[in-house]
Each structure stands twice: as C-alpha cells, then as structure tokens.
Amino acid sequence: MKASVTQAPIGLLAGWGRFPILVAESLGRRGLEVCCLGLRDHADPVLAERCAQFAWTGLGRLGWAARWFSRRGVQQVVLAGKVHKFRLFRPWFWLRHAPDWRTLRRFFRHFVLQRSDRRDDTLLSAVCDELAVDGLQVVPASDLVPELLVPFGKLTRRGPSPSEARDIEYGWHLAKELGRYDVGQCVCVKGQVAMAVEAIEGTDLCVARAGELCRSGFTVVKVAKPQQDMRFDVPTIGLGTLQQMVRAGASCLAIEAGKTIFVDREACLQFADRKGLAIVALHAAAEAQHIEETSPETLCDSRER
C-alpha cells in the first residue's frame, strides 16, 4: 500500500551514492522540507547544501538519530543510498561508530550473541522497527519519487541478441533465487553459465570479477528480491555500474521494471548508446525473448518518463 506524503518535514537517512541526493532534490522541488542525517564514511557532503537541515551520524547512533528526527517534527523517514556492509566485519568497527544504548540493545543478539542472522532484510527491518518506537514511519523512496523507477521496455537503441536474451532468462531465475535467500540481487552470465554472483561485495565488484573470467562479452542481470521490501535495499543502477560494465567487457544489462531505481537515467542511456550496451527493463524472464519487438515509440516514451 502506497504511503501518503505529509506536509511535515521529511527525514532522509542517507548512505552512499547519488540516490539520496536525487531524493533530496526531488522533495525540495515539491516544496517539502528535508531533514537529512548523513551516514559517516558513506553520504556525500553535498547533501548539506540540498537539505533544509543536515547532520552527520554514525551507523551505531540509531537512538540519537530517532531523537534528532523527532525534534524536527519529522513523521516519515526515507532510507536511501548504499551501506557498505562489509565494513561491519572490520576490527573495531563499532568503536569507531560509537553505538548508543538503543543500537546495542536492538542488535545485541545479531553482533554480540550471534544468535540472530545479519542478513540485509533482517538488519534493515530492525532499523525500521526501532524508528517506529519514536513514531517515525519509514516509507519507500519510490512512493515519494516514483519518477526514479525504471519503466518497462528496451531502454537503449540496441536490444539484447538472441544469445543475450537466453542468458537474461537463465540469469533472471538465478538472481531471483539468490534474492529469496537474501544473498544478492545481481548475477553475471555467459552462455547460460553463471560467471559471478553478487554477495556482500556489491554489484560493481561482482561485475569486475566476471570481467576477470570472461572478456568476450557477458550479460548482467539485476532484479528485486521475491520478497522485496520497497522501503530499503531496492535495486539501484547508475553511471558507475555502467562504467564498470564497460571496463569489465559486459555487453548487456537486464533490470526489473517498476522495482529498480535508475539514477541519472538520461545520462546513463546516452553513455550506454555510445558504448553499444543493451539495457532492458522487464517484468519477467520470459519477456527477454520478445523485447526486440518493443516499438520505437515505447522507447521514446520510456526516456521521457
């Protein structure tokens, strides 16, 4: 169910990447006050210029963050941007981020007793639950900035070749199964063989690893989890991923229509066309075999939305 947007200030808990900046800019254009907490070592400092109020916080300051939002009249909070989860496993990580009492209490079973898992969905759901204690509703960014969701269709001039379409269909089912277990969202495929699958390292490093094994062109498939919670960890594509694909030798990208954030879409598609990449957005794997039938008018409509 889509969340209704209040006229109260909107809270933004910002991680790494361009996505939080685009969210802040879009909300600002609509006349909404954005109160942003940037995650230290992740968020872009430019957010301080894009938001009405801004402060830095550590990953372990969940109680402080909830109070900061509440004091500013925030009722709804958006989680946007990537958190580099591998940092959670570095020595003395928690000392650097100085966890407060509420963070320690909420995550004690996960990181100290190790009696609960540390999957993305588990940890991010716990963040949402803790914010809810203070009356803060975490809402999907896609509810506030739906224009960032990619529409269905062949997005580049070139569509997938027959062999790439077969790889998309194979990779789609594989990526969905990975997502079902909350492992990752991306796979790289060549000749219906998995070259690399995403885990904690993220999409770009997954693509780079596939490029080390296959330089003759391969297909990248990135999809939402079957149980995708649109409040967090939504698949996101931007220029950095496309540049990594070119460096690695990838030739085709398939993403899930209506459930993928496409950052700076127009600039990305121009880059992809210059490099000869094929990018398609699908609802289901079977559509890969018919995507070339997408009309030029549909392509134009997709770019304008």
What are the pLDDT digits (tens) for 18-44? 999 999 999 999 999 999 999 988 999
User: Does the pLDDT of residue 4 top 70, yes or no?
Assistant: no
Domains 10-144 and 149-304 share a fold: no
Nearest to 286 by CA among 161, 173, 190: 173
Tell me the whole-structure pTM to 2 decimals.
0.86
Average pLDDT estimate for 227-256: 95
HSE on the CB side for 81, CA within 13 Å?
25
Say which CATH class 10-144 falls into.
Answer: alpha beta
User: Does the pLDDT of residue 157 top 80, yes or no?
Assistant: yes
Average pLDDT estimate for 161-180: 96
Superfamily of domain 149-304: LpxI C-terminal catalytic domain (3.40.140.80)
Burial 245-273 (b: 16+ CB within 10 A, else e): bbebbbbbbbbbbebbbbbbbeebbebbe
Task: Tell me phi and psi for residue 31, to 5 degrees.
Answer: 80, 15
d(CA 110, CA 256): 31
The dihedral formed by the CA atoms of 184, 190, 195 and 196, expressed in degrees to the nearest 10: -20
What does the pLDDT read at residue 121? 86
For every residue of 263-280, DSSP letters joined together read: TTHHHHHHHHHHHT-EEE
What does the pLDDT read at residue 238? 95
Q: Domain locations in the chain?
A: 10-144, 149-304
Residue 301's pLDDT band (cuts 50, 70, 90): very low
What are the pLDDT digits (tens) for 118-153? 788 888 898 999 999 999 999 999 998 899 999 999
